């Protein structure tokens, strides 16, 4: 999978993890060698890696896994050659849909800046979109990763501070019980995503009324949704639909929206047709995973839709993103295993999702032999993997 740096070429089209791992297997071998590990086969490598390297959240390494300074310096050029630190550019022209995925507040500002810069670029031919969707959702704002309300507000430029929507948000902090009900200022990723677009556009955004909804399902720590979406209009007339996607239960951590669940929600609520083009704007290092997730969900319903990625290069010294890139390399390896297991499943059997993939890799890690791998592949091929 080639990551394109020239603005004259598209970002990669094939975001499958099988394509990524196949392209970079030699580099994986080099990384494993630096870590003192053999690369006997991909399943054994994936089983060791997923149980050793990543932490509970994206970009965080397992606290029991330590890289020496020498290992970090040796691994860095390999990760760079895998294109983890360079942006994915877009050709000029007309596209059907642009998806801006949710994230931490600061990361959403970066995505919004990249999106608006590309939409308003004056030199050369512009790129236009028929629809722009903000795939945000019910993840509560966290002081540690997003900032406190005061931190966020104090950092806003004046044009944003005096925007009617921001004034309305800040008035919520004076209402009793608002924090418990997730109705305080900038309370969830949905509001933070709207704010990120406001910041990127320097406040020059018209925010319309909320479209209401009523969800019967409640998850622990997450109240039922009352808002489905909100229309935002940029100065050039381009509309953005910010979607408040529901939280879902996860294998690790509290309920929250994911790139998979928000894309599934998008398909349920938005009109996407065969033959259209979808561009996903994200941050570079998480791009292959996020765009790959979007691509898999979209292609399960519309295999003829083209999915592209768009991101800026990482800012500052890329060495500070070594942990992120290494963890995402492992994620790609695990998703390769998921894709491979599903390709081997008999027709009509239940797909093997990421949770069951991890369970199978854990069995391999508990007894890391070629015989264990062979037995599991027989179970997969015969449809014997338990649901």
pLDDT tens per residue, range 5-25: 333 233 344 568 999 999 999
Burial class (CB in 10 A: 0-12, 13-18, 19+), 72: middle
Pair type for strands 127-137 and 93-101: parallel
The span from the first CA to the last CA of the chain, in angstroms, equals 32
Residue in the structure block whose two tokens are 């810069």: 117
Q: Which of 10, 9, 88, 14 is nearest to 1 (CA)?
A: 14
Instruction: Report the Cα 213 to chain-centroid distance in Å.
Output: 25
Phi, psi at residue 75, to the nearest 5°? -80, -30
- pLDDT single digits (tens) 194-211: 999 999 999 999 999 999
Q: How far apart are CA 5 and CA 18, in angstroms?
A: 22
Q: Report the pLDDT value the prediction gives residue 2, as an integer from 0 to 100.
A: 34
Q: Is the CB of residue 136 less than 8 Å from the CB of residue 245?
A: yes
Q: How far apart are CA 356 and CA 352, in angstroms?
A: 6
**CA 298 → CA 280, 284, 305, 307, distances in Å?**
12, 21, 7, 8
Return the ∠ at Cα 321 (arms to 68 and 110), rounded to 5°.
165
pTM of the model: 0.82
Residue numbers in the chain where pLDDT is lower than 70: 1-15, 57-59, 122-124, 174-183, 216, 387
**CA 324 → CA 4, 109, 136, 257, distances in Å?**
20, 19, 22, 20
Phi, psi at residue 318, to the nearest 5°? -65, -15
Q: Is the CB of residue 93 less than 8 Å from the CB of residue 127?
A: yes
Q: Report the pLDDT value the prediction gives residue 88, as an integer from 0 to 100.
A: 79
Q: Report the pLDDT value the prediction gives residue 58, as an integer from 0 to 100.
A: 65
Q: Report the pLDDT value the prediction gives residue 387, as an integer from 0 to 100.
A: 66
């Amino acid at each position: 999978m080639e990551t394109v740096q020239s603005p004259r070429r598209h970002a990669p089209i094939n975001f499958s993890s099988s394509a990524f791992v196949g392209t970079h297997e030699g580099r994986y071998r080099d990384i494993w060698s630096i870590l003192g590990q053999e690369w006997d086969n991909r399943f054994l490598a994936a089983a060791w890696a997923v149980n050793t390297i990543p932490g509970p959240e994206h970009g965080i390494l397992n606290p029991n896994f330590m890289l020496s300074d020498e290992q970090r310096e040796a691994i860095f050029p390999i990760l760079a050659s895998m294109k983890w630190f360079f942006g994915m550019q877009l050709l000029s022209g007309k596209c059907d849909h642009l998806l801006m995925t949710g994230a931490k507040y600061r990361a959403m500002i970066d995505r919004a800046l990249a999106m608006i810069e590309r939409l308003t670029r004056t030199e050369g031919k512009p790129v236009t979109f028929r629809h722009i969707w903000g795939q945000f959702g019910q993840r509560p704002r966290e002081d540690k990763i997003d900032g406190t309300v005061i931190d966020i507000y104090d950092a806003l430029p004046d044009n944003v501070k005096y925007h009617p929507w921001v004034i309305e948000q800040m008035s919520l902090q004076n209402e009793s019980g608002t924090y418990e009900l997730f109705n305080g200022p900038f309370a969830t990723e949905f509001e933070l995503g709207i704010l990120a677009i406001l910041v990127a556009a320097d406040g020059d955004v018209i925010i319309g009324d909320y479209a209401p909804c009523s969800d019967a399902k409640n998850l622990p720590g997450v109240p039922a949704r009352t808002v489905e979406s909100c229309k935002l209009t940029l100065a050039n007339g381009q509309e953005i639909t910010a979607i408040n996607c529901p939280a879902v239960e996860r294998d690790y951590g509290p309920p929250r929206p994911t790139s998979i669940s928000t894309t599934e929600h998008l398909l349920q609520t938005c009109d996407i047709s065969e033959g259209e083009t979808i561009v996903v704007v994200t941050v570079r290092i998480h791009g292959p995973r996020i765009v790959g997730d979007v691509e898999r969900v979209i292609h399960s319903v519309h295999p003829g839709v083209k999915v592209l990625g768009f991101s800026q290069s990482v800012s500052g010294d890329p060495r500070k993103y070594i942990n992120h890139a290494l963890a995402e390399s492992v994620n790609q390896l695990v998703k390769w295993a998921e894709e491979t297991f599903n390709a081997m499943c008999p027709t009509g059997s239940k797909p093997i999702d990421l949770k069951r993939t991890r369970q199978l890799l854990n069995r391999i890690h508990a007894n890391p032999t070629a015989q264990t791998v062979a037995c599991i592949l027989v179970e997969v091929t015969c449809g014997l993997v338990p649901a």
